[in-house]
Structure 1
Amino acid sequence: MAVRPTRSDPAVPPEIDGGPRGRIRGEVVVVVGVLVALVVLALAVVASFAIGARSIPPDEVVEALLGRGSLSVVGIVGELRVNRTVLGLVCGAALGAAGALMQAVTRNPIADPGILGVNAGAALGVVVGAAVTGGLGLASTVWFALVGAGLASAVILVLSASSMAASSPVRLTLAGVALAATLSGISQAFVVLDEQILDAYRYWQVGSLTARPVDEVLGVVPLIVGGGIIALLLLRGLDAIALGDDSAISLGVRPGWVRVWSLVAVALLAGTATALAGPIGFVGLIIPHLARGLVGPSLRRVVPLSMALAPALLLVADVIGRVIGGGAETPAGVVTAFIGAPLLIVYLASGRRVGVT
């Protein structure tokens, strides 16, 4: 027997609420949510410039960004922290959007490019590219990363459509974890056979914002912009699919095409981010839930907000890694894992209460 969607269903867009008062209240909530996200992002950027093994006052940060001040401060801010901040903004936006898309397409609230193996597929692509080209240079590996992410996304899409996985988010998550472990094992096999890339890979594989200069990052930004544009164009269709495929078709949406193009967007976003910074997990898991808490379940609001909140989380994780590591920095991917893994465990442990079996 079909169940009529209710407003309390997190998959139902708020537009079905109807009524001018409800719409006005919804718009106020959206404005407040966007303002909160922008303030948090701005604070994270300031912290990224100012805080580290050596903390720098904000006025000296501004002077350094303008090319003035002491040479040591200009070197720290203008060369090191600007690179990390730009990389965090780009990769965070990509991972936030990819996570929101994956949760929508798979109808799985605990979907994430890291947990479900998309990042591991991209990482395997990078390793294969490094083995073929002889190094971990971005220009020579990013295309391999996109292929690896695309293939992993396709596997997850097939699994999410199967009756067993579709019946339980936990089953799909376990399948994704198994896929990620398999792909990571293959990556390790490639690495141990090539000592030339072993040292670089050991640090890169945990996810870090220290590896890329700004010009190298900006060179692949068009790939992330392309994935972001595709994602934004799909939002109406994804909101319709949240009501069920039959309802989506009645609204003129083709669910199959929406899912395929979502796969393309996820591959572009997660694949490029992984090639840039390594396989950073849990960002795409946590942020869409925070965004939904601020602006409701409509993807037309959740995805753009996730693209603002995720960079803030990644930058904060990077700052924490600089501080707690003392002289030796803790990679951002390790910090996000410490934040995200307990949240995932709590979510799975409360599965009976939230309808996850």
Structure 2
Amino acid sequence: MVVSRAFLPPLASAVFLLLLVAIGSLLYGAGPVSPAEALAVLAGGGTDEARFVLMELRLPRTIIGMVTGLALGLAGALLQSMTRNPLAEPGLLGVSAGSGFAVALAILLGATTATLTTLVAQLGALAGCALVIAATRVQGLGNDPVRLVLAGATLSGLLMALTSMLMLVDQRAADEIRFWITGSIAGKPLDMLGATLPSIILALVMIVMVARPLAAMALGEKAAVGLGHHPGRIRLLITLSVALLVGSATALAGPLIFVGLVVPFIARALAGPDIRRTLWLCAPIGPIILLAADIVSRLIAAPAEMPLGVVTALVGAPILLAIVRAGRMPSL
């Protein structure tokens, strides 16, 4: 994917804003360390306590938040482009709920390793993606963005109900599942990235492979075939990429909704309908949105924290309503 000179200013601005938000994530957060003390640590000084809080608590949280935001933002853009539906989002269409249900079931059965949890989450996300593709093939459903989202919401509700039923089986597992499904990146060690990074890197490679064919498919499948592309193969790669990204993000932070809707919405507003530019911008905007939401979750109920999933829902729900009430869907 080649970046044109005209596109560099918004991309550079997004990267710069990401740097500022990441610094803000280090300055405000867990532990009795003030922003001034955190700045002293970043400058190479500070007390041992401040250094411990910054490096062992806030830095891992910031890195995991960036990776999670990247994964959800790209997954949302891919889903929207594949379904040609600006409302398509992993949390709304049941992909995240499928991943979440799979992880909850794994926790109930005693899964403890991050690698196993990530694999299970990706399998659940893959099943959710398959259901989304099947829904887009239903006559009258795939062409109606609102009806497709309602179908996805029904699936999500069913899976969340099944997840709640699992919590009735084992009280020990119920406490862990309850904390996890609210969505959070607090207290997550960097070791968890070891299980998810290979999947995310593989997904990024596949995204590079499908970016140009996906842009051709925006002209129609016949035009894409005429240009030498294979729509069926492209959809398969996108499905696998979304499953890897959403499964990894869910394993890291729980089933977060609306991030995959908000990020592509902002990226398209800045980049236009070209999916290649949208994907480039989703890379920094995804981490920006998630880290900003995480900072708000720390400050809004200090010294306690509001669940991250609640904050993302509060941010994303008005944007969803605005898109629906606009009367016409943005062209993809």
| Same-fold call, TM cutoff 0.5 | yes
Indicate if the aligned counterparts of 2:203 and 2:240 stay in contact, CA closer than 8 A: yes
Match of 2:178 among 170, 179, 202: 202
Deviation, 1:227, is: 1.1
- SS, match of residue 166 in structure 1: coil
Which residue is 1:51 aligned to? 28
Match of 2:68 among 73, 85, 91: 91
Distance 1:229 1:345 in 2: 34
Give the TM-score of the pair, scaled to structure 1.
Answer: 0.87
Q: After the TM superposition, which residues 157-306 of structure 1 pair with which residues of structure 2 at under 5 Å, given as runs?
A: 157-306=133-282
Match of 2:80 among 103, 118, 123: 103
Which residue is 2:130 aligned to? 154
Which residue is 2:324 aligned to? 348
Distance 1:354 1:276 in 2: 32
The question of 1:78 aligning with 2:52 is answered no
- SS, match of residue 87 in structure 2: coil
- SS, match of residue 329 in structure 1: coil
Distance 1:75 1:105 in 2: 44
Letter in 2 for 1:300: R
Letter in 2 for 1:326: A
Deviation, 1:62, is: 5.2
Deviation, 1:354, is: 3.8
Compared CA separation, residues 194 and 135, structure 1 to 2 (3 A) = farther
Match of 2:19 among 21, 42, 58: 42
RMSD: 2.0
Compared CA separation, residues 143 and 353, structure 1 to 2 (3 A) = closer
Structure 1 unaligned blocks of 5 or more = 1-14, 16-25
- SS, match of residue 86 in structure 2: coil
Indicate if the aligned counterparts of 1:128 and 1:144 stay in contact, CA closer than 8 A: no
Letter in 1 for 2:245: L
Q: After the TM superposition, which residues 13-24 of structure 1 pair with which residues of structure 2 at under 5 Å, given as runs?
A: none
Distance 1:291 1:29 in 2: 15
Which residue is 1:320 aligned to? 296
Deviation, 1:80, is: 0.8
Distance 1:274 1:166 in 2: 26
Letter in 2 for 1:31: L
Deviation, 1:67, is: 6.8
Distance 1:211 1:181 in 2: 28
Cα deviation code 1:246-292 (max 9, x no counterpart)? 11111111111111110000000001110111001111101111111
Give the TM-score of the pair, scaled to structure 2.
Answer: 0.94
Indicate if the aligned counterparts of 1:136 and 1:200 stay in contact, CA closer than 8 A: no
- SS, match of residue 165 in structure 1: coil
Compared CA separation, residues 270 and 355, structure 1 to 2 (3 A) = closer
Indicate if the aligned counterparts of 2:121 and 2:248 stay in contact, CA closer than 8 A: yes
Indicate if the aligned counterparts of 2:78 and 2:238 stay in contact, CA closer than 8 A: yes
Deviation, 1:137, is: 4.3
Structure 2 unaligned blocks of 5 or more = none
Which residue is 2:105 aligned to? 128
Distance 2:291 2:220 in 1: 36
Q: 268-277 or 230-239: which moved more?
A: 230-239
Q: After the TM superposition, which residues 112-123 of structure 1 pair with which residues of structure 2 at under 5 Å, given as runs?
A: 112-123=89-100
- SS, match of residue 108 in structure 1: coil
